[in-house]
Amino acid sequence: MQREEKQLEASVESLISRVAHVKNALHSFIYKLENEYERLTWPSVLDNFALLSGQLNTINKLLKNEKTPSFRNQVIIPLLLSPDRDEDLAKLTEQRVPVFSHEIVPDYLRTKPDPEVEEQEKQLSAEAARIGPEVAQKQIQTLNKLCSNLLEKLNNPRDDRDAESAAMRQNKPSFNPADTNALVGAVAFGKGLSKCRPPGPVAPGHPGQGPMMSGGPTLQQVTIGGGSNQQAAMGGPVPPQQQGQPGTDELEEQNQTSCLVYLEERDKCGFRLFHETHINHASEGALGVGKKGGAVCLPGAHSFHSLRKL
Amino acid sequence: MEAPPVTVMPVTGGTINMMEYLLQGSVLDQALESLLHRLRGLCDNMEPETFTDHELVYLLKGQQGNPFILRARRSLSHPTSPWHLRYLGQPEVGDKSRHSLVRNCVDVAASHSLPEFLNEMGFRMDHEFVANGHIFRKGAMKIVVTKLSRILVPGNTENTERLSLSYLGGAECVGSCRPGHCVGGHAQLC
């Protein structure tokens, strides 16, 4: 009798200490989850779970130990229930159970499962009784076979397995190097994306279309609108320059890119003069002014120049 | 009013030299799902974002050598967002052991009149495409998986056809220029 009592006490003591370990591990894990949420990595979460699982395992082993008396034979009966606060109890339970009253007894001294769980268990046992012993036996055997297969695969590392997985990976290629080159070329310099237009000497008639990439430098003619398009004091309104005019042929021969700019000037009498000038991008590293055909550009000239379309 | 004197001089000072570090690869369509799963796990934890962008590449041809290239990009899924104008320099050749592409980059936002402005400046649009896909983030790195589509009718972004049966994956990082220090990240693309 006494030996059993001593055993009971010892096992309860060790059980209490194991459960305290689990409680501490849970406490730190919850703290980490709630406060260090951003810094938490999956491997450390897995570590915490592994720790808890290990501790539960030791508790299981302790309970299965033959030195441990069967706790089912022990009964706990509350001797005194009072709605008053019990300081000792509060200190013992870290303020979680301050009062040993009628409300806490069903939860803390429970021996039967919850009503919902009891319902589910009843359903499961009814189901099991329904299917009959042979079917049940067959199901048990299939389950055992699956588990043993899996265990064998996990426990015996086979070299064939690496070869198998390598072969599987080779059979299903995940990228195509030609595609890589095509895509990178398309993003980097528009390979396969440039609009195909038959190359020709005449500049495209519509503004805003792409230049021809193939072949040599092509002509671009741009009008700079805005402030420089001022109305002539003497002439009619300045017609906007259109591309594709016959005058472009001469420019193409010169093979330059140029912009059309209207420069305004005042002569001695204060009359405003307008010059049509071409600004060439190439001349002497700075924007220069070139001559084209009949349009004479002489800054400071004292004569009128009529506006001409190029 | 006299025409103001125009000179061509480089703009100096006032900018930080930003370098872009880029790695690119591609995956076939059937491998896209697993790539997205892996990226979801490897990258920062956020809701996966998709994007649909229309990029136009503008060229300014001068007589001397290489044309000047500017890239203008706008979002088709957020039409009111500003345009994004980007200049990318020549790739830096140096460290052979460095796998990523390093080049100078300048990024600015622009209003919706950007194409007309570039046309007036003398740029001509060379090519355009539509890119849509997924975007992830890992620290300072931006990881994108995009599907590129060719625009069949210029200016019409509805009528597109895919360039290839693969998705282009890229990891890029923009940082300030520090010699000898590569801010490239590791992104294993399948």
* A193-236 pLDDT per residue, tens: 876 433 333 333 333 333 333 333 333 333 333 333 333 333 33
Q: Is A183 on the interface with B (CB under 8 A)?
A: yes
Check A190 against B120: CB less than 8 A apart.
Answer: no
Q: Is B190 on the interface with A (CB under 8 A)?
A: yes
Query: Based on C-alpha coordinates, what's the Rg of chain A?
Result: 47
Check A186 against B31: CB less than 8 A apart.
Answer: no
Whose CA is closest to B187, among B17, B8, B6, B24? B24
Which site among B160, B168, B172, B190 would you substitute to test the A interface, given the most A Cβ atoms closer than 10 Å to its Cβ?
Answer: B168
pLDDT at B6: 60
CA distance A58 to A51: 11
Give the burial class of B15: count Cβ atoms within 10 A of its Cβ; 0-12 exposed, 13-18 middle, 19 or more buried. Answer: exposed
Which site among B8, B63, B144, B147 would you substitute to test the A interface, given the most A Cβ atoms closer than 10 Å to its Cβ?
Answer: B63
3-state secondary structure of A40: coil
3-state secondary structure of A247: coil
pLDDT at A28: 94
Check A224 against B163: CB less than 8 A apart.
Answer: no
Q: Tell me the DSSP string of A78-115.
A: -----SSB-HHHHHHTTTS--B--TTTHHHHT--SPPH
Check A222 against B122: CB less than 8 A apart.
Answer: yes
pLDDT at B12: 59
Q: What is the mean pLDDT of chain A?
A: 69
CA distances from A203 to A40, A178, A200 (A): 62, 35, 8
Q: Is A180 on the interface with B (CB under 8 A)?
A: yes
CA distance B133 to B148: 9
Dihedral of alpha carbons A285, A286, A287, A293, sign? negative
Question: Which residue of chain A comes nearest to B169, CA vs CA?
Answer: A180
CA A247 to mean position of chain CA atoms: 56
By the 8 A CB rule, do B69 and A190 touch?
A: no
How far away is chain A from the Cα of B117, in angstroms, using its nearest Cα? 11
pLDDT at A194: 73
CA distances from B20 to B23, B71, B87 (A): 10, 15, 11
Q: Which residues of B touch A279 (CB under 8 A)?
A: 6
CA distance A208 to A189: 19
Q: Is A264 on the interface with B (CB under 8 A)?
A: yes
Reported ipTM: the value is: 0.81
How far away is chain B from the Cα of A259, in angstroms, using its nearest Cα? 8
> Nearest 5°: CA angle at B109, between B103 and B112?
130
Q: Which residues of A touch B122 (CB under 8 A)?
A: 220, 222, 257, 259
CA distances from A282 to A78, A255, A279, B79 (A): 103, 11, 9, 39
Torsion (CA) A101, A102, A106, A109 in degrees, nearest 10: 40
Check B164 against A220: CB less than 8 A apart.
Answer: no
Check B166 against A207: CB less than 8 A apart.
Answer: no
By the 8 A CB rule, do B20 and B118 touch?
A: no
CA distance B148 to B169: 11
Tens-digit pLDDT string for chain A (310 aa): 788 888 889 999 999 999 999 999 999 999 999 998 888 888 889 999 999 999 999 999 988 888 888 888 888 888 888 888 888 888 888 888 888 888 888 888 888 888 899 999 999 999 988 988 899 999 999 999 999 999 998 888 766 666 677 667 667 778 888 989 999 999 988 888 876 433 333 333 333 333 333 333 333 333 333 333 333 333 334 333 433 344 334 433 333 444 333 344 455 554 544 444 444 433 333 333 433 333 333 333 333 333 333 3
CA distance B150 to A262: 39
User: Where on the phi/psi map is residue A111: left (φ > 0), alpha (ψ -120 to 50), or beta?
Assistant: alpha
CA A214 to mean position of chain CA atoms: 40
Which of A186, A207, A208 lies at the smallest CB-CB distance from B163?
A186
Q: What is the pLDDT of residues B86-137, one digit of tens each?
A: 999 888 887 788 888 899 998 999 999 999 999 998 999 999 999 999 999 9
CA distance B177 to B183: 10
Q: Which residues of A touch B57 (CB under 8 A)?
A: 190
Whose CA is closest to A276, among A297, A303, A250? A297
Name the residue type at position A94.
Answer: E
* B84 bridge partner residues: B73, B109
The half-sphere exposure of A127 on its side-chain side, counting CA atoms within 13 A, is 6
Q: What is the pLDDT of residues B137-170, one digit of tens each?
A: 988 899 999 999 998 888 788 888 888 889 999 9
Q: Residue by residue, what is the 3-state secondary structure of chain B?
A: CCCCCCCCCCCCCCCCCEEEEEEEEEEEHHHHHHHHHHHHHHCCCCCCEEEEEEEEEEEECCCCCCCEEEEEEEECCCCCCCEEEEEEEEECCCCCCCCCEEEEEEEEEECCCHHHHHHHHCCEEEEEEEEEEEEEEECCEEEEEEEEEEECCCCCCCCEEECCCEEEEEEEEEEECCCCCCCCCCCCCC
Which of A187, A224, A257 lies at the smallest CB-CB distance from B61?
A257
Question: Would the pTM count as exceeding 0.80?
Answer: no
By the 8 A CB rule, do B57 and B138 touch?
A: no
